[in-house]
A = this chain, B = another copy of it.
């Protein structure tokens, strides 16, 4: 029998059976009183868990749509946007800003590093902005931005909204809208929430909801806060048909998060990430992200000399572990591995062992056991 395939890409992440079963439940009417109550509970929990003083939106769409929703309700054509980019997904804001006709400036970090709060501060002193976007974890690099410190900086400018892309962070990396002074946070179902892809999540703080009031009617329809706000305020109401089963799955994920406790969840992510990084380095990989800014949700290991990308990934897949390839300049030089959501130590240990076997096969003289030993030592020394 072949090994079961472990889904270790940085999203979709493995979906627990109890979450997946919510998808398999018989669909009901969106007006069904049980569904309405479940949906409302989900909205309330999302607001509370991430300290949102405004409104949470759960919409049938992808995280990419949430990016669009995050800007169009807070900026109008000609408004000034500061884009803080640490990689491929940070750069997506450039594409969107061009499409929307915002005036924008970009501060970029080299891949694997992150823009510092000081750089953001310098730029904000230099020019006025209506909003700043930061990608919390850019999956192209595995680097995590110092969102709390940047939040403190942006918070000094009361007319500047702080928008955080939490697609690859929320429910894995610590985020707190109040403590981090975030005005708009968004994410997707398929990363650290461990749900199948298909839902966009967005939290709008009071300041963002107030900003929407000052805008002329926004041209976007499905992305307009105002169309969804009555529903998110009272889930009996209708704008567009909610994705019933996806919403249930999301609620189950949040129930699991509440049972685990957010702080425990963050600790688990940190512990697992440290163990995985120790294993990868012991097996000869170099991590793209600088030690000062390594995300707990994924790692981006650069291959050691003698290991070829496609050979590695196809052999690893044959061993039953699926990882993702590198993006941009790192395509072919690096792979990307997720360790977020509801992935546990069993799956991580199995993954490290499969990488060991793959290296043994591909690299003559590779000494088996270094990676998994480093993994175990990391787990046992806290």
Contacts and interface: CB of A to CB of B under 8 A. Distances in A.
Interface of A: 5, 7, 9, 11-12, 14-15, 20-21, 23-32, 60-65, 67-68, 95-96, 98-101, 188, 190, 196-199, 217-224, 239-246, 322, 324
Contacts of A20: 24-27, 245
Contacts of A96: 221
Contact of A197 (B23, B25, B63, B243): B243
Given A9-B31, A12-B244, A64-B221, 19 more contacts: A12-B241, A14-B27, A24-B24, A24-B25, A31-B324, A32-B322, A60-B61, A62-B242, A63-B241, A67-B221, A68-B222, A96-B221, A100-B219, A101-B219, A188-B241, A197-B243, A197-B244, A219-B219, A220-B220
Contact of A68 (B29, B188, B221): B221
Contacts of A223: 222
Contacts of A30: 12, 197
A28 B7 contact: yes
A232 B314 CA distance: 25
Given A96-B221, A196-B245, A220-B220, A240 B12 contact: no
A74 to B, nearest CB: 15
A99 B221 contact: yes
A190 B61 CA distance: 15
Majority secondary structure of chain A interface residues (helix, strand, loop or mixed): loop
B64 A239 contact: yes
User: What 6 A-B pairs come out closest when comparing CB atoms?
Assistant: A24-B24, A198-B243, A64-B240, A23-B23, A62-B240, A65-B222
A322 B222 CA distance: 28
Nearest to A69: B222
Contacts of A246: 196, 198, 243, 246
Contact of A24 (B23, B67, B222): B23
A223 B221 CA distance: 10
Determine which residue in A5, A7, A62, A242 has the highest number of CB atoms from chain B within 10 A of its CB, and name it: A62
Contact of A61 (B26, B61, B63, B95): B61
Contacts of A26: 14-15, 20
Determine which residue in A32, A61, A218 has the highest number of CB atoms from chain B within 10 A of its CB, and name it: A61
Contacts of A61: 60-61, 65, 222
A348 to B, nearest CB: 18
Given A198-B198, A219-B101, A220-B220, A240 B63 contact: yes
Given A12-B27, A27-B12, A223-B222, A196 B243 contact: yes
Contacts of A239: 64
A290 B26 CA distance: 34
A72 to B, nearest CB: 9
Determine which residue in A7, A218, A222 has the highest number of CB atoms from chain B within 10 A of its CB, and name it: A222
Contact of A12 (B9, B29, B63, B324): B29
A155 B39 CA distance: 45
A198 B245 contact: yes
Contacts of A23: 23-24, 245
